[in-house]
């Protein structure tokens, strides 16, 4: 097995023993990028010179420092929606095609301080708006397992890079399933933490009350390792939870005896691919056979989640994206403009892609006079009801298991002409963003050679339970 195919935890142990170097791992990763990237398109920008400098620095630190982070010397890719000082950050959009931030996002600072090696910035749906990574300025990311299929979105580049061995770990963001869906489609593990657990400072906003930064890796432990280095209060982010950093990796256990797992009946209905349902229920049976208690629960407002989400998300998007007007930074259509309004119109018409413009128009409509109460305000009330459904359910269970997607990975271009069908792919993921809950996608078998993801949902700030149940299943299933 090549070094680029090993888990972060295994590589960290080998580094500590002095059996390999960070440069060895980094060379392996870039060799894989050289071999695979032309057929996957996972990266918008790669940073080989910087990566080897960081790898050599990590190797020096590994020889000198006793208390070393398990992340030290491990290659990592970052979704191109997080600011990186002096490194192009595009959000997959022409609007930011030549944007070089003057600062790092907090999560980037934290992982680099711990000695991680930055491989590059990964491809994504423009401004995070999509479920397939087909809405990107550089074209779609292909599923590394089946190149004719999508990688999921919007963090498809991060998921594909991990699955293909083009990086060891990756950071993604999740506004409506953008970590969990591509993780499921590419057969890796992806963790969306509780809203507020990880700083959003330096995350270029799509929908501020829904966006969250999370971890992607080849195993549950890899995600715990990465998330540990990302958490903790950040005074630069007003939504950051006032709590200390985490210790998820060292606290993981596979003992699930007595743990109560909820199965929401509203998630296992017509429209869910029966092959996905069968694999998830087999997983549930395996957990039950090893000591977990299984209970059916109800989340009665689930049917309204997609509608509420796409009203709230688009409303916040049209507000957040108003800053891109061609005046201070980013793309400008032309300098030969007679008046400001004409410049705005030309810049936004040419700078934004079709899906982004669609969502801006939807958001503008629902916030407009005469429609605010009927749409946006009502959606916020439904959001409260959805969160209350989960709070009530967690009175009787410790975690919830559900599908990630109602369908298997689909072919490139299959849903691009039908936005509604694309939006419905998010039906099982958006509720967690509306509720601010943690959720993880973990591989759960396959059908027709296409990977299936199982979603584990926890109480607010109880990522540890999610990791424990995921790790138990990983150990029991042998995946």
User: Which residues are marked as active site?
Assistant: 79, 154, 178
- Asked if 70 and 114 touch (Cβ cutoff 8 Å), the reply is no
C-alpha torsion sign, points 109, 111, 114, 118: negative
As a whole number of Å, the CA-based R_g of the chain is: 21
Q: Which residues contact 104 (CB under 8 A, 6 or more apart)?
A: 83, 84, 85, 112, 202
Please classify residue 47 by burial: count the beta carbons closer than 10 Å to its beta carbon, then call 0-12 exposed, 13-18 middle and 19+ buried: buried
Q: What is the residue-wise DSSP string for 289-316?
A: HTT-EEEEE--TTGGGHHHHHHHHHHHH
* Distance in angstroms (rounded) separating the CA atoms of residues 85 and 103: 4
* Distance in angstroms (rounded) separating the CA atoms of residues 268 and 319: 35
What Cα–Cα distance (Å) separates residue 196 from each residue in 43, 209, 214? 28, 10, 11
The two tokens of residue 292 are 């977990």
Count the Cβ atoms, other than its own, within 10 Å of residue 425. Answer: 25
Q: Is 133 left (phi over 0), alpha (psi -120 to 50) or beta?
A: left
Please classify residue 340 by burial: count the beta carbons closer than 10 Å to its beta carbon, then call 0-12 exposed, 13-18 middle and 19+ buried: exposed
The two tokens of residue 173 are 């963001």
Reading across the β-sheet that carries 75-79, which strands appear in turn? 43-46, 117-122, 75-79, 169-174, 212-217, 189-192, 439-447, 450-458, 399-403, 260-264, 293-297
* Distance in angstroms (rounded) separating the CA atoms of residues 452 and 130: 19
Token pair 């950093």 is found at 245
Nearest to 131 by CA among 99, 187, 175: 175
């Amino acid at each position: 097995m090549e070094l680029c195919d090993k888990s972060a935890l295994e590589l960290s142990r080998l580094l500590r023993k002095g059996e390999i170097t960070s440069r060895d791992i980094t060379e392996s990763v870039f060799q894989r990028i050289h071999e695979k990237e032309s057929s996957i398109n996972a990266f918008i920008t790669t940073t080989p010179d910087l990566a080897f400098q960081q790898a050599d620095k990590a190797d020096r630190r590994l020889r000198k420092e006793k208390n070393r982070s398990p992340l030290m010397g491990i290659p990592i890719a970052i979704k191109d929606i997080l600011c990186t000082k002096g490194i192009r950050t595009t959000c997959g959009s022409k609007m930011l095609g030549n944007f070089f931030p003057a600062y790092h996002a907090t999560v980037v600072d934290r992982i680099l301080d711990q000695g991680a090696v930055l491989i590059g910035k990964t491809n994504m749906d423009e401004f995070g708006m999509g479920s397939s990574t087909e809405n990107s300025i550089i074209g779609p990311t292909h599923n590394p397992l089946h190149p004719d299929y999508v990688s999921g979105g919007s963090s498809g580049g991060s998921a594909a890079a991990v699955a293909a061995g083009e990086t060891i770990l990756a950071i993604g963001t999740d506004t409506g399933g953008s970590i969990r869906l591509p993780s499921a489609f590419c057969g890796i593990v992806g963790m969306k933490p509780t809203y507020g657990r990880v700083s959003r400072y330096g995350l270029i906003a799509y929908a501020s009350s829904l966006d969250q930064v999370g971890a992607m890796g080849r195993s549950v432990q890899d995600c715990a390792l990465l998330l540990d280095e990302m958490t903790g209060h950040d005074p630069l982010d007003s939504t950051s939870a006032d709590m200390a950093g985490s210790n998820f990796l060292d606290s993981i256990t596979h003992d699930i005896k007595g743990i109560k797992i909820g199965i929401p009946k509203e998630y296992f209905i017509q429209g869910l691919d029966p092959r996905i349902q069968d694999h998830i229920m087999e997983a549930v049976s395996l957990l039950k056979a090893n000591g977990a208690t299984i209970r059916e629960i109800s989340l009665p407002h689930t049917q309204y989640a997609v509608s509420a989400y796409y009203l709230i998300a688009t409303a916040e998007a049209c507000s957040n994206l108003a800053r891109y007007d061609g005046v201070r930074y980013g793309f400008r259509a032309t300098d030969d403009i007679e008046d400001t309004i004409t410049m705005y119109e030309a810049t936004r018409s040419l700078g934004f892609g079709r899906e982004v413009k669609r969502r801006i128009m939807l958001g503008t409509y629902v916030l407009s006079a005469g429609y605010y109460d009927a749409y946006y305000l009502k959606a916020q009330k439904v959001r409260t009801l959805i969160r209350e459904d989960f709070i009530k359910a967690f009175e009787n269970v410790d975690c919830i298991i559900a599908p990630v997607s109602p369908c298997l990975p689909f072919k490139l271009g299959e849903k691009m002409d039908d936005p509604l069908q694309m939006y419905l792919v998010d039906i099982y993921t958006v509720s967690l963003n509306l509720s601010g809950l943690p959720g993880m996608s973990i591989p759960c078998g396959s059908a027709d050679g296409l990977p299936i993801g199982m979603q584990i949902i926890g109480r607010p700030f109880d990522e540890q339970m999610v990791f424990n149940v995921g790790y138990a299943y990983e150990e029991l299933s042998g995946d």
